[in-house]
Amino acid sequence: MQDNSLYEFNDGLSEDALDEDPQSDSILEGLNESQHEAVSAELRNMLIIAGAGTGKTRVLVSRIAWLIKHYHIAPRNIMAVTFTNKAATEMRERLSLMVGNSVQSSLWANTFHSICLRLLRAYAQYAGLVPGFTILDTDSQVSLVKRLMKDMNIDTKEFKPSDIASNISKQKENGIRALAYSKKVSVKSPDYVKVTDRVYTVYEKVCNQENSVDFSELLLRTVELLENNREIRELQHRRFKEILVDEFQDTNSIQYRFLRLIAGPNSHVLVVGDDDQSIYGWRGADVGNMRKFLEDFSDVKQVLLALNYRSTQKILDVANTIIGFNSDRLMEKVLKGNFGEGDKVKILNCANNKVEAATVTDRIAALHDSGVDYRDISILYRNNYLSLDFEQNLLRKHIPFVIYGGQKFFERAEILDAIAYMRILVNEDDDTALLRIINTPSRKIGPKVVEGLRTIASERNCSLIKAIRLLEAHVNSGNVDKTLSSLYKKISVFYELFKALNEKRQNMSLSAFADEMLRMTGLYKYYQEKDFKDGKDTEEHSRYANLGMLISNIKEFEAAPPAEDDSSEENTSESTTEKEKKTEDPLLTYLSNITLVSTGELNEEGGTSNVADAVNLMTMHASKGLEFKYVFLVGFEKDILPSRLCAYSDKSLAEERRLAYVGVTRAKKALFISYAQVRSMFGKSEPTGASSFLRDLVREYKGKQDVPLMIEAVKGYSFY
């Protein structure tokens, strides 16, 4: 540990953050009774159960504003955890309007991953990392796993590297290190478990050597940091007085551990969630954390938000009925709306999937003819493969559409290449980045040359860049070993470029350097020629144009105000850590930011939203958090929803029903639910029919007068 001055805590509040607002009660204006109760509650632990469309974001923002204005809590003493960077940005912007711009730089409003990254940057040496560590995005993680598997002679066709990488991440999210995982493996374990064991052990070692962390490592390493360092943990306890967590039903095991560690004995924790919208169990989310919160935190006040500000009552009646069949709910909530009764939900019983796609497309065309913008319409489906028929019909009708969940901006090859060059410049030990671009564009550095270099690095237990330096020193010493001299001659073209780039970036702005880097490396010319060869040079989003958009993204990053980062500095003295922060490499900061955002929030154009007037196509999972005036829930049928794989597990079946509930509650004005009696799959036509969820829904209203739905048979097929 450094001297205790590092841990001195200044509990004073900045004047601009503490100005008393005599009109602080204006924060409560327009809130309903339940929202008012949540926002103005006394300082204590709280669980807010917020139904779909009940204004939870407004409640969260208003609560933070209330803490600042009414309880005089400084923004820097508040941590707000969101599940997307977009949500965090929106929260800060709304708060700025309510309490002033000071909140933008001092409030910690970030995702779990971003918060953990900030802590690890501040305490890298205590977390077993070298300052300047880089983050492996999903593509880089899979590439590294694939490289290791090939080195270990593991068949990458029999065992997919992406599956092994995913399993490693899953273990980390459960707090299980490689050694602990190995102890669980026996001779009777399945082959994929044994393979994961072998790869995980080496993967962990190589990540440490390359000074890199993957997404799951950010969380696990921070949890271990807080568990193993009492002084650092207690500093955070003194710092964060109020902690608020959004989308709490989606937290996993390691995130819950982090929350318990970051909350001190005098902190208050407010969590907002809806157990009826917990749909990510397949990736580790544990809806049970909501019950654990009531058990593990003292004197928890519960508030239910059930007044819906999104949908008509007919849509809400359908949603309430569907979810009502789940028996594992934390509490029963019946959503009530304030937009009137609305039209009945239309159930389209279609002869087959071709009829379904044609019918939905015709309804969309009719809506547009009546004055509805395409952007206000969405087609939601359980699985991505279901989109094909709709894509073809929309194209046939010349209806514009956007598919969410496709390749994202930072997943494109040209962008990944550019980022790999940046990564090796900030972290010379990042062999995964170097191997991606050492011969891109081609420098005639073939596999044999790379293998020779890797052999030297392995023998000397060093990174590839350091191995090149050893070769350089060997050749410059006058040694005439022809093999080594030949190897260095072939590799030197890349090494000279590497040195030149390092020199260039010392005296240039980040955006200017990035632009020069793309020229010096040849990436601009390389992708311009590829576009021309493939006939894509005139496309708006050609690969060359995407590189230009990357430069624009960097300029936006440069223009953004820096966030206050004082996780380790609570006094005004100039400590070593503080001086380091002031000179932190902007390229490293940029890489950290875009790597976290590239987890899936940027579309193919590098933006965060769809501004084009186009129909939105996406999975029900991807639709969570979104809303559209007109929604078509398609493929609502047997063996699709619920999935055939989930039909025999009560837990999985409950999550599938929650998924259906999420889909229904995306609709604001009108909802269409369609299914096919016969669906063509793998070249064969198979009888399907209505989902069991739909049958339950129809039976529930059979014989009743006030029915929120109507069934329309297309091509004369009966519902049953």
Residues in binding site for ATP: 50-57
The candidate with the shortest Cα–Cα distance to 260, out of 286, 302, 293, is: 293
Helix (H, G, I), strand (E, B) or coil at 678: strand
Dist CA 285 CA 252 (whole Å): 4
Q: If you write DSSP's letter for every residue of 358-395 in order, what string do you get?
A: HHHHHHHHHHHHTT--GGGEEEEESSGGGHHHHHHHHH
SS3 585: coil
Indicate if 247 belongs to the active site.
yes
Residue 82 neighbours by CB distance under 10 Å: 24
Of these residues, 8, 57, 585, 695, which one is catalytic? 57
DSSP labels for 244-255? EESSGGG--HHH
End-to-end CA distance of the chain: 71
Q: Which of these is catalytic: 137, 139, 242, 247?
A: 247
Phi and psi, residue 487, nearest 5°: -65, -45
What is the sign of the dihedral through the CA atoms of 109, 589, 168 and 420? positive
690 contacts 637 by C-beta, under 8 angstroms: yes
Task: State the catalytic residue, choosing from 666, 668, 679, 688.
Answer: 666
Q: Which of 210, 246, 275, 570 is catalytic?
A: 246
- Residue 708's alpha-carbon distances to 161, 320, 346, 347, 692, in angstroms, are 48, 11, 9, 11, 18
- CA–CA distances in Å: residue 160 to residues 87, 147, 165, 181, 689: 33, 12, 9, 19, 34
The residues, any chain, with a CB within 8 Å of residue 297's CB and separated by 6 or more, are 45, 263, 269
How far is CA 432 from each of CA 141, 206, 438, 547, rounded to the nearest angstrom?
A: 9, 10, 10, 21
- Angle, helices 586-597 vs 413-426, to 10°: value is 140
User: Annotated catalytic residue: which of 35, 56, 363, 376?
Assistant: 56
**What does DSSP say about strands 46-50 and 212-213: parallel, antiparallel, or unpaired?**
unpaired
**Is 246 known to be catalytic?**
yes
Cα dihedral: 403, 406, 409, 413 (round 10): -140
Kind of pairing, strands 684-687 and 336-337?
A: unpaired
Residues belonging to the binding site are 50-57
> Number of C-alpha atoms within 13 angstroms, CB side, residue 127?
30
Answer yes or no: 277 catalytic: yes
Give me the phi and psi of 370, to 5 degrees please. Answer: -85, 0
57 included as an active-site residue: yes
Q: Which residues pair with 619 in a beta bridge?
A: 381
Q: Which of 171, 251, 277, 361 is catalytic?
A: 277
Residues forming the active site: 56-57, 246-247, 277, 666
